[in-house]
């Protein structure tokens, strides 16, 4: 069975640009979460979506937005990129919302120049 | 604030020796607790989890962890380390839908 898949795996952007990251959850999972992992730190929670509704948002500016589609895949959008947005963006899915057992993808490595 | 702390940034251990990674949590109620491993350039793999019940939890790859409420700890152990265990290890906790991660412990295995 396919795990959580993310695309693209690597990308380079310049300051001020916009980026869209994509995630497909494990088949049957209805919840998708996004985390940001800056080099040398633990992942930080950005968003969780369950059944296409936003359940929670971490301490990130409004430049960060996300959505979940009817097939439960998800997009993370970041506008007006800053150098500090350079990070590994991890998507995770879970079958039952609230248990905290997340299955992570390999991540999208974003470099902002 | 709800949080998870990993006191050790980096641990070096000889192959075949035992390993223990520390994790402390600060939550109002007992949280769900997890240990994840991350190899360079890769995502997170779940090693084990604690929800309730037996305080000694067995995981994959020969790892186990012990939940101690009196010490607010959830330490990870492995009796005999293999070179392939070199990686970064994260402790995480939650009592709702979002995980709070520790800063991670990097494990180096020497021959």
Are the C-beta atoms of residues B100 and B85 closer than 8 Å to each other? no
- Chain A CB contacts of B103 below 8 Å: 41-42
Query: Which residues 6+ apart lie within 8 Å of A22 measured at CB?
Result: A6, A7, A73, A74, A75
Mind listing the pLDDT tens digit for each residue in B75-91? 999 999 999 999 999 99
pLDDT band at A2 (very low <50, low <70, confident <90, very high): confident
Nearest to A94 by CA among A14, A22, A41, A34: A34
Q: Out of B43, B49, B100, whose CB is closest to A106?
A: B43
Dist CA B96 CA B86 (whole Å): 31
Nearest to B34 by CA among A99, A109, A83: A99
pLDDT reported for residue A100? 63
**Which pair of structure tokens corresponds to residue A31?**
């919840």
Residue A18 has pLDDT above 80, yes or no: yes
- Chain B CB contacts of A45 below 8 Å: 98-100
Mind listing the pLDDT tens digit for each residue in A24-52? 999 989 999 999 999 989 999 999 998 88
H helical segments located in B1-111: none
B80 reaches A (C-beta below 8 A): no
CB pair distance less than 8 Å for B97 and A104? no
- What pairs with residue A91 in β-bridges? A34
Q: What is the mean pLDDT of chain A?
A: 93
Mind listing the pLDDT tens digit for each residue in B16-72? 999 999 999 998 788 899 999 999 878 899 999 998 888 999 999 999 999 999 999
Report residue A106: phi and psi, to 5°.
-80, -15
> For chain B, how many helices (H) and strands (E)?
0, 12
Greater pLDDT, A12 or B2: A12
Are the C-beta atoms of residues B91 and B65 closer than 8 Å to each other? no
């Amino acid at each position: 069975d396919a795990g959580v898949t993310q695309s693209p795996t690597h990308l380079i952007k310049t300051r001020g640009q916009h980026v869209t990251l994509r995630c497909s959850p494990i088949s049957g999972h209805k919840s998708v979460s996004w985390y940001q992992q800056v080099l040398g730190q633990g992942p930080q929670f950005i968003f969780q979506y369950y059944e296409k509704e936003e359940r929670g948002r971490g301490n990130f500016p409004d430049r960060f937005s996300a959505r979940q589609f009817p097939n439960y895949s998800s997009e993370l959008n970041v506008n007006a990129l800053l150098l500090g947005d350079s990070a590994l963006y991890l998507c995770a899915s879970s079958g039952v919302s609230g248990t905290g057992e997340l299955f992570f993808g390999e991540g999208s490595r974003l470099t902002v120049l | 604030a709800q949080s998870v702390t990993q006191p050790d940034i980096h641990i070096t251990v000889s192959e075949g020796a035992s390993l223990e990674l520390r994790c402390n949590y600060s939550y109002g109620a007992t949280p769900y607790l997890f240990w994840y491993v991350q190899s360079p350039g890769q995502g997170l793999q779940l090693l084990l989890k604690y929800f309730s019940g037996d305080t000694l939890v067995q995981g994959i790859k020969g790892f186990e962890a012990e939940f101690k409420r009196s010490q607010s700890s959830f330490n990870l152990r492995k009796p005999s380390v293999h070179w392939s265990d070199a990686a970064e290890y994260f402790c995480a906790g939650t009592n709702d839908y979002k995980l709070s991660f520790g800063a991670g412990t990097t494990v180096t295995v020497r021959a």
